[in-house]
């Protein structure tokens, strides 16, 4: 029995959710290859999506092409009934080009690691209908770091591809692909982390306790403000964190929470649902928690509000999430709710 037949049998016997995660994993890695090709070309074709000129919202050729590739892989496997919410609004030319390059659906060996775990998927997640699922895509999380990496390649580690799957407004599975992981070492470059509720998280060795240097938080590198700083200071004063580090991308920040950071703190309304869907799913599968800054769950609705207007608080699996929530000053929480 050859390997391709094995994969075909696994696909045939797997439930919809497992198949969707497997294709998402493969799609994220294809997107990662596109991202690296665009960077290597040296021509990022940068545009600013924010027309008011107040805050930059950069988009590159990598964002556009990566999203087109992801969407076409998903559609070729599951058809147009699958609901996809992507960060980028793509010109028709991108969709047509992607269709020409990705006609038909082919199983890939990279999907086998997900398909092998199908029997571990909980019974209540095995009989989902495709109409009840939504896929949230951020084709290049950390665009600011990607652009600045032309002068500082170390920033590329913070770039991720995010594909999250939600059911009835809540994340149940997700993929975080880190195309430049280990870039500055002699090891294999790039890694893919994926998780399914009740099954676990794969592709990463999660930290089980505070590092010997003491607990630390990660926060925004490019969208800080007084409320963010106030929240971080409150956590420091209660000795819940010793320090905080400013890094880019929601996906990378959640990976930090899985590998040593106590929390990801963002007491502001700057990030969107596609920024947090995959990270929340992966973190939850590992035993961590992600909510708004007041401890309420985020609601992912295709036709609902895209902005996480009440902020984001994510904590590592070894952290008591409610303890961190209780220390965030009430006036910070109130201010975010009034703005939202």
As a whole number of angstroms, the distance between CA 180 and CA 189 comes to: 6
| 236 and 324 inside one domain | yes
Residue 161 lies in a domain: yes
Residue 209 falls inside a structural domain: no
Domain membership of residue 282 as a residue range: 216-339
Residue 134 annotated to the active site: no
Q: Are residues 192 and 221 in the same domain?
A: no
Residue 19 phi, psi (nearest 5): -60, -40
170 found inside a domain? yes
Query: 3-state DSSP call for residue 220?
Result: strand
In the block, residue with structure tokens 């649902």: 273
Q: 174, 202, 230 — which closes off a domain?
A: 202
Clarify whether residues 82 and 179 are in a common domain.
yes
CA 267-273-276 angle, 5° bins:
70
157 and 67 fall within a common domain = yes
Contacts of 174 (CB under 8 A, 6+ apart): 24, 162, 163, 164, 165, 194, 195, 277, 278, 279, 280, 281, 282, 285
Q: How sure is the predictor about 1, in pLDDT bands with cuts at 50, 70 and 90? A: very low
Residue 208 lies in a domain: no
Is 141 annotated in a binding site? The answer is yes
If asked whether residues 15 and 84 sit together in one domain, one would say yes
> For the chain, how many structural domains are there in total?
2
63 labelled catalytic: yes
194 and 290 fall within a common domain: no
Q: What pLDDT does 93 receive?
A: 56
Residues 122 and 60 in one domain: yes
- Region 205-221: mean pLDDT is 93
In a domain? residue 249: yes
Could you tell me if residue 157 is inside a domain?
Answer: yes
Give the active site residue among 18, 60, 134, 143: 143
Q: Among the three residues 157, 179, 202, which one is the final residue of a domain in this structure?
A: 202
Q: What is the pLDDT of residue 87?
A: 83
Mean pLDDT within 249-274: 97
If one counts every other C-beta atom within 10 angstroms of the C-beta of residue 244, the result is 22
Q: Annotated binding residue at 229? A: no
- Same domain membership, residue 61 and residue 19: yes
> Is position 120 within any domain?
yes
Residue 123, annotated as binding a ligand: no
Q: Which pLDDT tens digit goes with each residue over 128-156? A: 999 999 999 999 999 999 999 999 999 99
- Of 261, 258, 256, 267, the closest CA to residue 230 belongs to 267
- Residue 113 CA to residue 96 CA, distance in Å, equals 31
What is the rounded CA–CA span in Å between residue 33 and residue 179? 7
Model confidence band, residue 95 (pLDDT cutoffs 50, 70, 90): low
Tens digits of per-residue pLDDT, 271-288?
A: 999 999 999 999 999 999
Whichever domain contains 310, its CATH number is 3.40.190.80
- Is 87 annotated to bind a ligand? Reply is yes
Structure confidence at residue 248 (pLDDT): 96
pLDDT for the residue 163? 99
At residue 85, does pLDDT exceed 50? yes
| Residue 141 falls in which region: left (phi positive, over 0), alpha (psi -120 to 50) or beta | beta
Q: Are 175 and 230 part of one and the same domain?
A: no
Whether residue 185 sits in one domain with residue 242: no
Domain finish residue from 202, 229, 247: 202
d(CA 134, CA 301): 8
Which phi and psi angles does 45 have, rounded to 5°? 50, 60
For the entire predicted model, the pTM comes to: 0.93
Same structural domain for residues 283 and 160?
no
Catalytic residue among 18, 63, 220, 284: 63
Residues 195 and 279 in one domain: no
Residue 253 lies in a domain: yes
| CATH code assigned at 88 | 3.30.540.10
pLDDT, position 99? 52
């Amino acid at each position: 029995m050859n390997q391709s037949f094995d994969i075909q049998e696994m696909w045939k016997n797997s439930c919809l959710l497992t198949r969707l995660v497997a294709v998402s994993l493969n799609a994220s890695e294809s997107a990662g290859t596109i991202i690296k090709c665009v960077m290597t070309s040296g021509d990022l074709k940068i545009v600013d999506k924010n027309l008011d000129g107040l805050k930059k919202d950069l988009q590159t050729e990598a964002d556009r092409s990566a999203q087109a590739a992801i969407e076409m892989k998903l559609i070729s496997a599951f058809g147009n009934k699958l609901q996809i919410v992507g960060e980028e609004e793509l010109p028709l030319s991108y969709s047509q080009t992607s269709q020409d390059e990705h006609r038909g659906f082919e199983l890939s060996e990279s999907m086998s690691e997900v398909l092998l775990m199908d029997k571990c998927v909980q019974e209540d997640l095995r009989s989902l209908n495709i109409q009840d699922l939504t896929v949230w895509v951020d084709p290049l999380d950390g665009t600011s770091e990607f652009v600045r990496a032309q002068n500082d390649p170390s920033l590329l580690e913070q770039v991720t591809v995010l594909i999250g799957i939600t059911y009835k407004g809540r994340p149940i599975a997700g993929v975080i692909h880190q195309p430049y992981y280990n870039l500055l070492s002699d090891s294999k470059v790039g890694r893919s982390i994926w998780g399914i509720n009740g099954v676990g998280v794969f592709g990463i060795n999660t930290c089980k306790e505070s590092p010997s240097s003491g607990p630390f938080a990660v926060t925004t590198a490019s969208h800080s403000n007084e409320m963010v700083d106030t929240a971080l200071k409150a956590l420091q004063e209660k000795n819940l964190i010793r320090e905080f580090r400013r890094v880019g991308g929601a996906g990378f920040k959640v990976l930090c929470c899985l590998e040593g950071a106590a929390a990801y703190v963002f007491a502001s309304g700057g990030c969107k649902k596609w920024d947090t869907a995959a990270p929340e799913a992966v973190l939850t599968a590992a035993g961590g928690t992600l909510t708004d800054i007041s401890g309420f769950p985020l609601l992912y609705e295709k036709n609902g509000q895209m902005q996480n207007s009440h902020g984001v608080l994510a904590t590592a699996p070894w952290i008591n999430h409610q303890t961190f929530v209780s220390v965030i000053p009430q006036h910070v929480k109130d201010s975010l709710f009034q703005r939202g």
